[in-house]
Structure formats: structure tokens, C-alpha cells
Structure 1
Amino acid sequence: MQLSYWELKNWFTNVDYTIVGSGIVGLHCALQLRERFPNSKILILEKGPLPQGASTKNAGFACFGSISEIIDDLKNYSEEDVIELIKKRVQGLKLLRNRLGNNIIDYKPYGGYELFLKNDEDFYDECIQSLPFINDLLRPLFKAEVFVRKRDQFNFNNTFKYLIFNPFEGQIDTGNMMQALLKEAISKDILILNQQNVTNYQELASQVEVATNEIVFKTNKLLFTTNGFASKLTNNKVKPARAQVLITKPIENLDIKGTFHLDKGYYYFRNIENRILFGGGRNLDFEGETTTDLGQTKIIQDKLEQLLKTVILPNYQFKIEHRWSGIMGVGNHKKPIVEQLSNNVYCGVRLGGMGIAIGSLIGKELAELI
């Protein structure tokens, strides 16, 4: 690609900070850098026409972990690690809501629910029995009981009649959130270029030479916020995890409001006005879903439809209107990676499927590494 003098001068000369990825982390990182370095030149490179990973493709859950997820985490990590992770998620949600405002992101404090299939009685009993312990663990953070039993008012089928309710969970409009972040970044003189896939970079004495599919240029600092696409960058500490999603057409007299977790969090659904958004099923094919391919598979889509018909919407007539997928970043630990990789290269990745909750904070922490 041959650039003009003007293009080279305005976009690719004297670049202070180049951020790879225009998702939640990348945009918050850029905004934090602008606050810290008001006169700097900040450039964001995005390989897709829109943020390519999960930032514009997630379910819009403003959550910090269901009861089953927290119990599972406590089996693999120390209490201190689990509490610290939940604390970061809560801080991240607060940062996001304070930056954009509840009205703009259409935040709805409907609360979150976890429901349990009848054939999972042992785990249901374990979660019920663990309520006092988990609530005691989280009380210093929330100053209240987080999880309580609540009778099913939604007429789900083939599930236990008592759900576990969390009043601190909410839902947002993902599209509104990302549009607002992009608008704020542009208003702060942050340059965003789409369809720019970073193919290579080379550290020089005091700068980094960056090569994309169209241009080679130099930047003082290079920051990666590519999450699920950061496998090579982190020596496989981050692996992609595809999440398949569908949404129904409007459903007459739909009486379901909230965010819902099912089957140990492998499935999740919520209302969007009078529709149901439903995603998950990665546990049906972990190997196949460890991919960066933004597609769908029959085995998972069929399972999502089956659960809609037999568990979630047994008393409603519905049709599927749209399907899509997003790419999360997971690993053998849920702690995000916020690191300086070399003199002038940094990364903030591995959000563990909690991008909305923790992405804003990770972007802020990444900017503060500089």
C-alpha cells in the first residue's frame, strides 16, 4: 500500500502508543493513556471492520461469577485468589458504569439467577449447602448476602423449583457500550484504523517496528489487547474459546427478566426486551471450540434449541432470528495477564469470559504499566 505524505504524517509518524485491538480492553487502555499523557499520539489498530473478538459479540452480562463458578474456582485456587478475582470484576464493572453511565449502556439491575437441571441433583445440593460459606466469604466485599434461594417464578421445566438469586448482577446493551467507547475515544483524539492486521513486529533500540497487512511504521510503545487471539504472543498461556450464541424473534407475553446461568455456567441466557438471547455449549466439544473461527456448529446449535424448547421456553412459541459467535481468551488460570513483554511491548489479555466485568480495569492497569 502506497501512502501519501499526508497519510504518513498524520497517522504513522511520531506515534507514541500503538494498541492492537479495539475491544473493551484496548479502548479503556487508550482512554487511560490519554488521561496520563494528554499530548501523546495514540493509534489503535483493529483487524476487523468491528472489534473482532468478543467485545461486540458477548451476551451483555454485568456479572462477576455464579455460585457454581465460584465453588468450582475454590476447588482450583486459593480463597485469596478467588476473592481478588471477584474484586477485580466488581471494580471493572464500576469503572465501566462510571465512565459511560447506566443510561447509555442501558444497565438493567434485574439480578442474576442460576438454575439446575433435575439430573444434576448432587451439584444442586452442593451449591445450596455452600450458600452460607460463600456469602460469608463475600460479605466483606458486598456488605450483604450475595446469593439466596428464590422460588422459580419463570416456569422453567425439568429444573429444581428453587433458583439461586444474586441481586448484584445486571445486564447491559453490548452494542451501546461499544459505540459509546468508540465515540469517546474518537472525541479524545485517539486514532482508530480498521482492517489492519498486525502480522509482525520487531523491537528496535528505543522503538518498535510494526508491520500490518498494509503498512510498516514505528511506534514508541506497542500494546496488545487481543485476548483470545493472543496464543502466540503469550506462549500458549492464552487459548481461544469460541462462544456460540443465538437470539429469538420477539416473543409475545414473555415474562422472563434477568441474566441466567445453567449447567455450571456452560449455558447462559437473558432477555433483551421480549426476546431471549441464549449462548454456550462449549463443553460439548472443548477441542472443536478452541478456535478463532467465527462460525457455528450443528451439535451446539441443536443443543441450544433443545434447551430452549424443553427447559427455558416450554410454554412459549418461538423462532430463532439470528446466530453468531465470539472468541474469548481462556487459560489454565483465570487471573488476567497484564505484563510488560519486553522494553517497549506490553499485553493485557486472558479475560476468562468476563470481558464486560474485568475488561475496563485490565485496560486501565495495562496503561498504568507504561
Structure 2
Amino acid sequence: MQLSYWELKSWFSNVDFTIVGSGIVGLHTALRLRERFPKAKIILLEKGILPQGASTKNAGFACFGSISEIIDDLKTHSEEEVIQLISKRYHGLQLLRKNLGDENLDFKPFGGYEIFLKEDESFYIECLQRISFINDIIKPLFKTEVFSKEIDRFGFGNTFEYLIFNPLEGQIDTGKMMQSLLKKVYQNDILIVNHQTVGSYTEINNGVEVITNNLSFKTNKLLFTTNGFASQLTNNRVTPARAQVLITKPIENLDIKGTFHLDRGYYYFRNIDNRILFGGGRNLDFEGETTTELKTTELIQNRLEDLLKTVILPNTAFEIEHRWSGIMGVGNHKKPIVEQLSNHVFCGVRMGGMGVAIGSLIGQELADLV
């Protein structure tokens, strides 16, 4: 693409910071850089029309981990590491709410619930038995008992009598969150250039030469916030994980309110606009869902529909209105990667499916590395 003199002068000359990826992490990185460097020229490059990974495609859970996820994490991480993860997620959510305001997020403090299928009885009993232990180890962080046992008042099918409730969990409107973030970025004189895929970059003495599908330019610092698309960048420490979602048409007199976790967090659903938004199921096909293709599959979509009919809405008629998918970034460890890769190149990736919770905090940490 041939740029004019004006385009080169106004947009692509004397660039201080270039951020690849305009999702939650990228936008917060840009805003933090603007705080630190008021006169810097900051550009975000985005390959999609909208943020392409999970930032505009997630379920809008303001959560920090269900009890089953915490128990599973304790099997592969130390107790201290798990507490640090929960702390990051919780403080990241508080930072997001502080930065944008609950009204702009459409934050609803309905609480979160974990439900258990009848065929998972042994794990259900384990989770109930460990409520007290989990509450004890996270009490220094929250100063209160977080998890409790509650009777199922929603009429779910094929599940146990009790749910595990977390009053500190909430839900947000993902679209409103991203619109508010974008507005704030524009107000801070930060440029977003869409339809730009970074093909390569070369570090030079005092910066980086960036080559995209359309242009090349020099930047002093290059920061990657591409999360699920960052495999090569981090020597395969980030694995893409597709999350498939569906949403129903409006349901009259829908009485389900809250965020709900099922099957160790592999399934999740919530109410929104008198509908049920339901996602997950990558555990049905880990290999097939280790992809960056934004598609849906019959295997997972059929399972989501079956769980809607038999578990979530067993006595309620519904119709599916829309389906989509997003790409998360996961790995062997749940701690995000915030690193300086070379003299002028940095990255903040591997959100582990918790981008809403920790994206703002990771963006801030990444900007503070520079």
C-alpha cells in the first residue's frame, strides 16, 4: 500500500510505541503508556474489523475462579501460586471497574454459582467438603467467607440439590466494556489501525522495523498483546484454545440470574437481555479446539443444546438465535506471560480464559515494563 506524505507524517513517523492487538490487554497497555508518557506517539495494530481474539467474544463473566477450578488448580500449582492467581484476577476486576465505571460496564452483582451433574457425584462431594478449606486460604484476600452451599432455586435438571454460591462474582456487558475502552483510548490521542497483520519485525539499533500486510514503519518499542495468537512469539508457551458460544432468543419470564459454572468451568452460562448465553465444551475435543479458526462445530454446539434442554432449561421452550467462537490463550501454567523479549520488544499474553478479570492489570504491568 502506498501511503501519502500526510499519512506517513501524521501516523507512521516518529512512533514511540506500537502495540499489536487492540483487545482488553492492548487497550489498557496503551492507556497506561499514555499516563506514563503524555507526549508519546502510540499506535495499536489490529488484524480484524474488531478485536479478533476473545475480548469482544467472551461471555462477560466478572469472576476469579469457581471452587472446582480452584481445587483443580491446587493439583498443578502451589497454594501460594493459586492465591496469587486469584488475587490478580480479583484486583484486575477492581481496576477495570475503577477505570471504566460500573455503569459503562453494565456491571450486575448477581453472584456466581457452580452446579454439578448427577454423574459427577464424587467431585461434587469433594467440592462441598473443601468449601471450608478454600474459604480459609483466601480469607486474607477477601476478609470474608466467599463460598457457601445453597439450595437450587432455579429448577435445573440432572443436577444435585445444592449449588455452591459466590456473592462476589458478577457479570458485565462485553460490548459496552469494549466501546467504553475504545472511547477512552481515542480521547487519549491513541491511534488504532485495523486490518493490519504483523508479518514480521526486525530489531534495529534504536527501535524495531515493523512489516504488516499493508505497510512498514519504524517504532521505538513494540509490544505484543495477541494472547491466543502468541504461540510462535513465546516458543509455544501459549496454546490457542477456541471457546464456542451460543445465545437463545428472548425467553418470557426467565428466572435465571447470575453467572453459572459447570463441569470444572468447561461450561458456563448466564442471563443477558432475557436470554441464556451458554458456552464451552472444548473438553469434548481438546485437539480440535486448539486452533485459531473462528468457527463452530456440530460436536460442541450439539452438546451445548443438549445441556440447555436437559439441565439449564428442562421445562422451558427455547430457540437458538446466534452462535460464535473466540480464541483464548492457555498454557501449562496459568500465570500470564509479561516479559521483555529483547531490547525493544515486549509481550503480555496467556490470559488463561480470564482476560476480563486480569486484562486491565496485565496491560498495566506490560506498560510498566517499558
TM-score, normalised to structure 1, is: 1.00
- C-alpha distance in 1, partners of 2:316/2:105? 29
Query: How many angstroms does 1:115 deviate by?
Result: 0.2
Deviations 1:135-161 (A, max 9, x none): 001100011111000000100000001
- Aligned amino acid, residue 43 of structure 1: I
- Aligned amino acid, residue 61 of structure 1: F
What are the equivalent positions in structure 2 for 1:153-172 lying under 5 Å apart?
153-172=153-172
Aligned to 2:264, what secondary structure does the other structure show? coil
- C-alpha distance in 2, partners of 1:183/1:102? 16
Query: How many angstroms does 1:322 deviate by?
Result: 0.2
CA RMSD of aligned residues (A): 0.4
- C-alpha distance in 1, partners of 2:180/2:153? 35
- C-alpha distance in 1, partners of 2:273/2:256? 9
- Aligned amino acid, residue 130 of structure 1: R
1:76 matched to which residue of 2?
Answer: 76
What are the equivalent positions in structure 2 for 1:134-153 lying under 5 Å apart?
134-153=134-153
- C-alpha distance in 2, partners of 1:334/1:215? 35
2:269 matched to which residue of 1?
Answer: 269
Asked if 1:116 is matched to 2:116, the reply is yes
1:258 matched to which residue of 2?
Answer: 258
- Aligned amino acid, residue 121 of structure 1: E
Unaligned runs of at least 5 residues, structure 2: none
- C-alpha distance in 1, partners of 2:161/2:41? 56
- C-alpha distance in 2, partners of 1:266/1:179? 28
Aligned to 2:128, what secondary structure does the other structure show? helix
What are the equivalent positions in structure 2 for 1:125-204 lying under 5 Å apart?
125-204=125-204
- C-alpha distance in 1, partners of 2:331/2:19? 22
- C-alpha distance in 2, partners of 1:207/1:273? 48
Deviations 1:278-327 (A, max 9, x none): 00000000000000000000000000000000000011110000000000
- Aligned amino acid, residue 345 of structure 1: V
Deviations 1:217-259 (A, max 9, x none): 0000000000000000000000100000000000011000000
- C-alpha distance in 2, partners of 1:327/1:284? 16
- C-alpha distance in 2, partners of 1:265/1:25? 22
2:21 matched to which residue of 1?
Answer: 21
- C-alpha distance in 1, partners of 2:320/2:231? 33
Asked if 1:213 is matched to 2:213, the reply is yes
- C-alpha distance in 2, partners of 1:293/1:179? 24
TM-score, normalised to structure 2, is: 1.00
Query: How many angstroms does 1:28 deviate by?
Result: 0.1
Aligned to 1:247, what secondary structure does the other structure show? strand
- C-alpha distance in 2, partners of 1:142/1:331? 27
Aligned to 2:351, what secondary structure does the other structure show? coil
- Aligned amino acid, residue 77 of structure 2: Y
What are the equivalent positions in structure 2 for 1:293-312 lying under 5 Å apart?
293-312=293-312
What are the equivalent positions in structure 2 for 1:344-355 lying under 5 Å apart?
344-355=344-355
- C-alpha distance in 1, partners of 2:73/2:146? 17
2:47 matched to which residue of 1?
Answer: 47
Aligned to 1:75, what secondary structure does the other structure show? coil
Identity %: 75
2:323 matched to which residue of 1?
Answer: 323
- C-alpha distance in 2, partners of 1:256/1:246? 16
- C-alpha distance in 2, partners of 1:264/1:369? 34
2:366 matched to which residue of 1?
Answer: 366
Aligned to 1:19, what secondary structure does the other structure show? strand
- C-alpha distance in 1, partners of 2:95/2:71? 26
1:356 matched to which residue of 2?
Answer: 356
- Aligned amino acid, residue 49 of structure 1: I
Query: How many angstroms does 1:273 deviate by?
Result: 2.6
- C-alpha distance in 2, partners of 1:202/1:220? 12
Aligned to 2:242, what secondary structure does the other structure show? strand
2:226 matched to which residue of 1?
Answer: 226
- Segments ≥4 residues shifted beyond 2 Å: none
